[in-house]
Structure 1
Amino acid sequence: MRDEQRILDRALSLHHERKVADAARLYRRILDLNPHNLHAIHFLGVAEAAAGNIDRAMTLIDRSLQSNPVNVEFVENYAAVLHRARAHDAIIALCERFGQIVPDSVALLHAGAAAQLAQGRHLQAIAQLTQLLARHPDHFPAHFMLGSALAKTKQYDAAIASYDRALALNPQLAEAHLDKGTVYFAQRSYDAALMAYGRALHARPRFAEAWLGRCHTLIQLGRSEEALAAADEALSCRPELAEAWVGRGNTLLELNRLEEASAAYERALVLAPASAAARAGQGHVLLRLGRHAEADSAFERALAADSAFAAAWLGRGILFLTLGRHDAAAMAIDKALEFDPQLANAWRLRGQLCYLRKQYDDALESWGNSLRQNPDQPDIAAACQRVRMHVCDWTDYDQATASIRSSVQSGKIVAPFLFIAIASTPDEQLHCAQHWARHNLHSIRGPRWRGERYDHDRIRIAYLSADFHDHATSQLMVGVLEQHDRSRFEISGISTGPDDHSDLRRRIAAAFGRFVDVRSQGDDQIADLVRTLEIDILVDLKGYSQDARTGVLAMRPAPIQTQYLGFPGTLGASFIDYIIADRTVIPREHAAHYAEKIAWLPDSYQANDRRHVADIIQRRAEHGLPDGAFVFCCFNDNYKLTPQVFDSWMRILRDVENSVLWLYEDNPAASRNLRGEAAARGLAAERLVFARRLPLAEHLARHRCADLFLDTLPYGAHTTASDALWAGLPVLTLLGGSFAGRVGASLLNAIGLPELITTTVAAYEALAIRLARQPSELAAVKAKLAGNRLMTPLFDTAAFTRHIEAAYVAMMKRHHAGLPPDHIQIDRQKSDSALELQ
């Protein structure tokens, strides 16, 4: 017995000296002498654990716990062994077995709580840690773990308090500072998070996770260059940290350095092939590049790795929305918000989808949630204002528009299509478009066209649009497409929008020599198609309007790229060579406010087709209009109505007795709000009458029930103005300061009615009142319009086609001569000869 004890003492001494293998030999020697020596059995198990033989260790240590009373040291050693082995189920079983027997064991409670925490059983961990701290209030690891458990259950204030208690006991506990930063980050308290990460780095300068936390926080603060430096510091500490490569990729994505971002995500995947974050990051890079099929595959692989990864669901939502698959987009966005209700970009995207569906209340709610998560989103503030304009809610209108203009002036990103609808200067619109283009349009593969010289017998023109269906753009363009000179031009249509199976869709498709439906393809594939077809001039009919695929042009697939008709302003992009305009919408003195060179057509820039007007008798009563009244009319979309324009209209109605204002009703909320605005200005609500959407031919016919069309500012009538003039209804306009507000004047000049163009609000109101009060003068104007309709340039589709073809020829002439794009003036009398220059 004495030999047995002597050998055990020697073995324990060796074990204490970390000579574990020598100690293990002595434990076995003891067991040869006495197989029931519990100390030898127990510490041999501990030695086996140190050697990595966990199953053997657990068998031995469990045998050592058969004593009565139980040896507390054995229980605590077993807890420590299981904790190091991450045998969480076994630890929890050990706690259940001995928790009541050794209730004060720090090691057992600590290991049990850690196991519960590791298995996501946060409430049980909180209970055990609370029990431990009640007995041992100065145990700082328990305070730290309690903070982690509380943070996991989103009890953020209590978590911070627990971390602070741990730090009071151990101020250099870098992990507690790190986790405080994580909690502050989750609360969007980014300045506090940066401070916490800084303290973690002060305690441990080479703490990779703290550098990574700093990276994520700086991204949220828009300090991308600093975020990149932080990611690089994390990687200098731990080059194998996959999450840091993801952080680097995310930062580079924010900086639009897409090739480098892609490489960072690839490196993360080498280190962690199942990383959902890296897969999703790849998807977002591919999405920005317009490589939609590859992006979808990347998001699917991310979700296969982690079906609850919100960023991957968000990516799919963006993808489906880009492709016009709204139902699929809604499902993906809802999934993103299910897994991360505070994901600002998901609320942002949901707002965009609701806006496109004209669910304006839902759009405002979603964008409001996005702004609460991240207030520094001036483009979302602008979008909210656009929604309020759609419903004619003019609360704080002037303040909101001033704020949007201020954002643009300070270089913030605001969507140009939103910006042109508010009062702004051409120079502000240029800056808005330039900021947008730099931030959103890029290609890492470089230009598809690299200077090759094509030698075609005909000029190859491709029109790119999402509107080749029953849409205003196609209504205007179809006649031009049909009348293009096929002996001189090869015309292709590249359709990125839906097929509505309408007569107009069929007519449009038949008008092209080649018509390609690419709506399911990414920008990358479409650009490759344009290059493969060796298109000479790519004409974009969308610009920055809804469903635009401007990213295709960013890849420069054609030697000459032109924007036309879809967007009334500059795109602010270096890859757009020309904008087709006229001297009214873009006077020469405005040319400096356009990134494009201007191709001025001789009359109006607007194409027109002689649209069919339904041959039906129109009765005012059928439209809710009083028979004996003077009917002022404006069928512009509701968002073009502003408080200032409405003030003018109400003054006109007040001065013209027995008059009504006939407006287009886009949504019931707008009608309610406009009636309220009229009442607030002392006008009876019934003096406003609202028109619902009708098929085009019937819509044109109902213009016969009106007397005078009143235009809007700052965004005036475009197709609605030419519709009115074609239907025989005079249009009164006020010349605006930018393209969007000058189209009405362009059309009136082209149809020979410049007397209906005014230049001041007072003149606009006075002329409207005079025409209403002087039936003979209005009759003369209508007679002149009737006589001019078919005799002036506006609806001379054949002549217009020759003019725009002359512009294309002039563009090609400069290109063939090796000259850069420059302003082009097409004169009416010279357009035919210009066609000979090819």
Structure 2
Amino acid sequence: MLTTSKQGTMPPRFTNPADLQNAERLCRQILRIEPAQRDAWHLLGIVAHNQGRNSEGVDAIRHAIALPAANPTALNNEPAAQQTLDRAVKLYRGALEQDPSSAAVYYELGREQLKAGQCQEAICSLEHALAIRGDWTEAQEALAEASLKTGHAEQPVDLLQTANQHYQLGRTHFSQQRFQLADQSFAAALQIDPNHQAAWHDRGAVFLNQGKMDEARRHFDKTLALNPQHADALCNLGLIHLLDNELEIALDYCRRSVKINPQHANTRNILGNVLRGQGKLGEAVAEFQCAIQLNPAFTEAHNNLALSYQTQGRIEEAVAHYRQAAEVRTDCAATHSNLLLSLFYVPENDREAHFREHEKWAAVHGRCSQIEHYENSRDPDRKLRIGYVSPDFRAHPVGTFIEPILKLHQAADYEITCYSNVTSPDEATARFESLVDRWRVTNWQNDDDLAATIVADGIDILIDLAGHTAGNRLGLFARKPAPVQMTYLGYGGTTGLDTVDYRLTDAVADPAGEPVSHTEQLIRLQHGLLCFQPPTAAPLVAEAPLLRNGWITFGSFNNPAKINAKTVELWADVLKNVPTARFLLKYPTFNDSETADYYRELFARHGIAPSRLDIRGGKLPFDEHLAVYGEIDIMLDSLPYTGSTTTCESLWMGVPVLTLCGGSFVQRISASILTQLNMPELITATATEFVSRATQLAAATEDLSRIRQAIREEMRVSPLCDADGYTRELETVYRRAWQRWCHHNRQSPQ
């Protein structure tokens, strides 16, 4: 016969599904013989609850309660099944009337009160439980947690006598992101028990969150030495190697982790990120979908699935999953930023609604304490301290465009600090660091700490180079750590923050007189949006390929996120007008067969045979990449988001770029570049004009050859490549902004 002790023994905990099945079978056998056996009903309820059948669990435990001389422990478990605090308290009080010496009832009551945030009541209940059973580890740990939440941190430490108690306190600290205290607790656990697997692993997780990768790796390796089948340790080692861009090693760790625990959503998510990093987008999508199936509320998986769809050019699906992710986690600023960026790629994007979405981001994620008093000297003409903040001080378009400016700032008048949020530094990162007065690595600092660093550095003007792109620090800019703040270069629109004073643009991308869709004051640069640094490794301009091929080759090297169905339809209309022409699409992600097939299908919908398409993936050395421009006669721009880096590279390699200028900043980037080159004939205003101009260019073969040989020299002497003039104009903008601030803040700092 099943029995429970009079001391209120805790109900059994099951870790093996077979144990649950055996227990259920035994209970039902007993109840067939003795239908009023209250312990069997009680255990049957626990089994049902452990199997997720909560309603059946409640019914079984209620049946046990209804029997004469009801088992007080049965009363303990009904609230765990139905999770209703008021009902739980009522049941626990009833249980205590029947057995006031039940430590288990006091413990369960304390746990329910703790869940509800009633920490003082929980402490009272748990102290009663420990007065009855002083050696009860779980009750000690719960009391430690409750005391910690009330601010009495010294009390729980005195209670901790075992490694597991220290470990559980560490878990509490970790869940509240108090990583230093968590580290101390896990270290204390390991001092008592050097073979405590969970403490080794979770201390590694602390180091991982602090960016201390070597220490994290050492702790995960030790975890595996103790237990080679530790799926979480394998997963986290995979994550570390992913962050180090060691993708093959990361893939091996993640595969091993999935083999041990295929139902772990986070491992599936990290595996998806590894596969996406390898360009295996179809496989990555499958892993993210699996993670979402395992955990439908998994924000990161929705976000990563959206990013994969975006990389494949499936922008509508991307936007849908970004929205889902943002709805699941309304507090996740990065996910909301990803949604804002993705909307720029949507052909029929509502500009006004998009602006309101930026304002919503600021209202939700930009509400924080702002720095109101600055110690900066109000001298309007003194040497200024300029800070640039970016995750892209690396081989990246933003890095390419900011590098000549960093080189040419006048040291006598400007002290430059770069706040680098780069996660995977490269050779370019080291080069940028050598160009500036001060270099700070910031990606492991939270916004408050980084704001304090910037204040201590005495930065006068802080410039955001990322906007809402990946790795941005707009939460930092919301805190206003510098008297003057600007945004520039990295993003196609407003930050939405009223703490960012200025956005740098030009008269083509943001013409005067348009409806306001920005929170910043616009400063229009005469030199245009971009400062292009001609690549030293560029091959000579090749002759027009039509001369050797006998046909025109159109092309695009733009990111597939910019190449939506409407863009393909426009290009297909051009190909129909020039029936002998071919089209070359090149981008690293076209290595993924699903992505390449998707674009073949898009062209086929408009009657363009696959034989007219040359779709290439993979990543080439930079000089070889530039050489491929020599295979293109005319570049066709994307819409609504035009090229920028690819437009500049194409023109430098002598290839004309035909663009369709639209109604927003991102639709006018190429037009801005072409305006600086005085090439208005390559700027069109309608789809009809675009197709007509492309057809005319394709027919004017002699003009194409002439234009091709002339573009590079025209570009070399244009404002686009005038790095010195561009930097001087920027410095003038900085100086005037500083003088305005000084004028409005004349009182000296106290």
What TM-score do the two structures reach when normalised by structure 2?
A: 0.74
- Contact 1:232-1:248 within 8 A present in 2 as well: no
Q: How does 1:76-87 map to 2 (within 5 A)?
A: 84=7
Shift in CA distance, 473/403, structure 1 to aligned 2, threshold 3 Å: closer
Q: How does 1:217-228 map to 2 (within 5 A)?
A: none
Aligned to 1:452: 375
Mean Cα displacement is larger for which, 523-532 or 629-638? 523-532
Say whether residues 1:665 and 2:587 are aligned partners. Answer: yes
Aligned to 1:147: 45
- Following superposition, the deviation at residue 202 of structure 1 comes to 6.2
Residue identity opposite 1:699 in structure 2: H
Say whether residues 1:763 and 2:708 are aligned partners. Answer: no
Say whether residues 1:632 and 2:554 are aligned partners. Answer: yes
Distance in 2 (alpha carbons) for counterparts of 1:442 and 1:408: 17
Say whether residues 1:486 and 2:443 are aligned partners. Answer: no
Residue identity opposite 1:493 in structure 2: C
Say whether residues 1:811 and 2:707 are aligned partners. Answer: no
Mean Cα displacement is larger for which, 713-722 or 778-787? 778-787
Distance in 2 (alpha carbons) for counterparts of 1:591 and 1:285: 44
Distance in 2 (alpha carbons) for counterparts of 1:335 and 1:299: 30
Residue identity opposite 2:285 in structure 1: L
Distance in 2 (alpha carbons) for counterparts of 1:268 and 1:361: 53
- Following superposition, the deviation at residue 354 of structure 1 comes to 4.9
Distance in 1 (alpha carbons) for counterparts of 2:278 and 2:143: 36
- Following superposition, the deviation at residue 543 of structure 1 comes to 2.9
Say whether residues 1:799 and 2:725 are aligned partners. Answer: yes
For each residue in 1:300-356, what CA deviation from the matched residue of structure 2 results, as whole angstroms up to 9, or x when unmatched?
A: 669969855999887776666799456699899899989997676665566556545
Aligned to 1:548: 472
Residue identity opposite 1:360 in structure 2: L
Mean Cα displacement is larger for which, 230-239 or 667-676? 230-239
Residue identity opposite 1:688 in structure 2: L
Distance in 1 (alpha carbons) for counterparts of 2:324 and 2:547: 42
Secondary structure of 1:543's aligned partner = coil
Q: How does 1:562-577 map to 2 (within 5 A)?
A: 562-577=486-501
Shift in CA distance, 267/757, structure 1 to aligned 2, threshold 3 Å: farther
Secondary structure of 1:689's aligned partner = strand
Aligned to 2:293: 372
Aligned to 1:743: 669
- Following superposition, the deviation at residue 296 of structure 1 comes to 8.1
Distance in 2 (alpha carbons) for counterparts of 1:801 and 1:576: 21
- Contact 2:450-2:476 within 8 A present in 1 as well: yes
Distance in 2 (alpha carbons) for counterparts of 1:403 and 1:118: 35
Aligned to 1:429: 354
Q: How does 1:259-274 map to 2 (within 5 A)?
A: 274=165
- Following superposition, the deviation at residue 811 of structure 1 comes to 1.7
Distance in 2 (alpha carbons) for counterparts of 1:588 and 1:296: 54
Distance in 2 (alpha carbons) for counterparts of 1:573 and 1:645: 32
- Following superposition, the deviation at residue 609 of structure 1 comes to 1.4
For each residue in 1:244-296, what CA deviation from the matched residue of structure 2 results, as whole angstroms up to 9, or x when unmatched?
A: 9999999xxxxxxxxx9987796996697637566445446548xxxxx7498
Secondary structure of 1:752's aligned partner = coil
Shift in CA distance, 353/178, structure 1 to aligned 2, threshold 3 Å: farther
- Contact 1:235-1:241 within 8 A present in 2 as well: no
Given candidates 547, 565, 583, the residue that maps to 1:643 is 565
For structure 2, the 5+ residue unaligned runs are: 95-104, 128-137, 212-238
Say whether residues 1:232 and 2:117 are aligned partners. Answer: yes
Residue identity opposite 1:389 in structure 2: Q
Aligned to 2:52: 156
Secondary structure of 2:731's aligned partner = helix
Residue identity opposite 2:415 in structure 1: E
Secondary structure of 1:365's aligned partner = helix
Aligned to 1:363: 284
For structure 1, the 5+ residue unaligned runs are: 1-74, 87-110, 184-192, 217-229, 251-259, 288-292, 821-838
- Contact 1:479-1:797 within 8 A present in 2 as well: yes
- Following superposition, the deviation at residue 578 of structure 1 comes to 2.5
Residue identity opposite 1:534 in structure 2: G
- Contact 1:144-1:166 within 8 A present in 2 as well: yes
For each residue in 1:613-662, what CA deviation from the matched residue of structure 2 results, as whole angstroms up to 9, or x when unmatched?
A: 533585899xx997222111211112221011111111211211221111
- Contact 1:116-1:124 within 8 A present in 2 as well: no
Distance in 1 (alpha carbons) for counterparts of 2:622 and 2:737: 35
Q: What is the number of equivalent residue pairs in this alignment?
A: 670
Aligned to 1:515: 439
Distance in 1 (alpha carbons) for counterparts of 2:158 and 2:341: 47
- Following superposition, the deviation at residue 696 of structure 1 comes to 2.9
Aligned to 1:595: 519
Aligned to 1:388: 309
Aligned to 1:724: 650
- Following superposition, the deviation at residue 781 of structure 1 comes to 5.2
- Following superposition, the deviation at residue 812 of structure 1 comes to 0.8
Given candidates 683, 692, 704, the residue that maps to 2:630 is 704
Distance in 2 (alpha carbons) for counterparts of 1:334 and 1:559: 49
- Contact 1:425-1:737 within 8 A present in 2 as well: no
- Contact 1:117-1:125 within 8 A present in 2 as well: no
Residue identity opposite 1:475 in structure 2: T
Shift in CA distance, 162/138, structure 1 to aligned 2, threshold 3 Å: farther
Shift in CA distance, 607/179, structure 1 to aligned 2, threshold 3 Å: farther
For each residue in 1:677-697, what CA deviation from the matched residue of structure 2 results, as whole angstroms up to 9, or x when unmatched?
A: 333432221322234433333
Secondary structure of 2:585's aligned partner = strand
Residue identity opposite 2:405 in structure 1: V
For each residue in 1:342-372, what CA deviation from the matched residue of structure 2 results, as whole angstroms up to 9, or x when unmatched?
A: 6766655665565455442343234323433
Secondary structure of 2:662's aligned partner = coil
Secondary structure of 2:117's aligned partner = helix
- Contact 2:79-2:87 within 8 A present in 1 as well: no
Shift in CA distance, 778/801, structure 1 to aligned 2, threshold 3 Å: same
Aligned to 1:19: none
- Following superposition, the deviation at residue 564 of structure 1 comes to 1.9
Secondary structure of 2:290's aligned partner = helix
Shift in CA distance, 285/542, structure 1 to aligned 2, threshold 3 Å: farther
Shift in CA distance, 735/315, structure 1 to aligned 2, threshold 3 Å: farther
Secondary structure of 1:817's aligned partner = helix
Aligned to 2:235: none
- Following superposition, the deviation at residue 800 of structure 1 comes to 1.0
Residue identity opposite 2:721 in structure 1: F
Given candidates 155, 159, 167, the residue that maps to 2:62 is 167
- Contact 1:632-1:661 within 8 A present in 2 as well: yes
Distance in 2 (alpha carbons) for counterparts of 1:377 and 1:498: 23
The structure with higher relative contact order (CA 8 Å, sep 6+) is 2
Shift in CA distance, 303/802, structure 1 to aligned 2, threshold 3 Å: farther
For each residue in 1:775-832, what CA deviation from the matched residue of structure 2 results, as whole angstroms up to 9, or x when unmatched?
A: 3554565577456313331121111111111111122112212369xxxxxxxxxxxx
Aligned to 2:530: 606
Given candidates 31, 34, 38, the residue that maps to 1:133 is 31
Secondary structure of 2:439's aligned partner = strand
Distance in 1 (alpha carbons) for counterparts of 2:159 and 2:454: 38
- Contact 2:420-2:443 within 8 A present in 1 as well: yes
- Following superposition, the deviation at residue 468 of structure 1 comes to 2.5
Distance in 2 (alpha carbons) for counterparts of 1:244 and 1:488: 64
- Following superposition, the deviation at residue 476 of structure 1 comes to 1.6
Distance in 1 (alpha carbons) for counterparts of 2:491 and 2:4: 69
Larger Rg: 1
Secondary structure of 2:573's aligned partner = helix
- Contact 1:344-1:370 within 8 A present in 2 as well: yes
Secondary structure of 1:593's aligned partner = coil
- Contact 2:544-2:705 within 8 A present in 1 as well: no
* Aligned residues with identical type, % of pairs: 22
Secondary structure of 2:744's aligned partner = coil
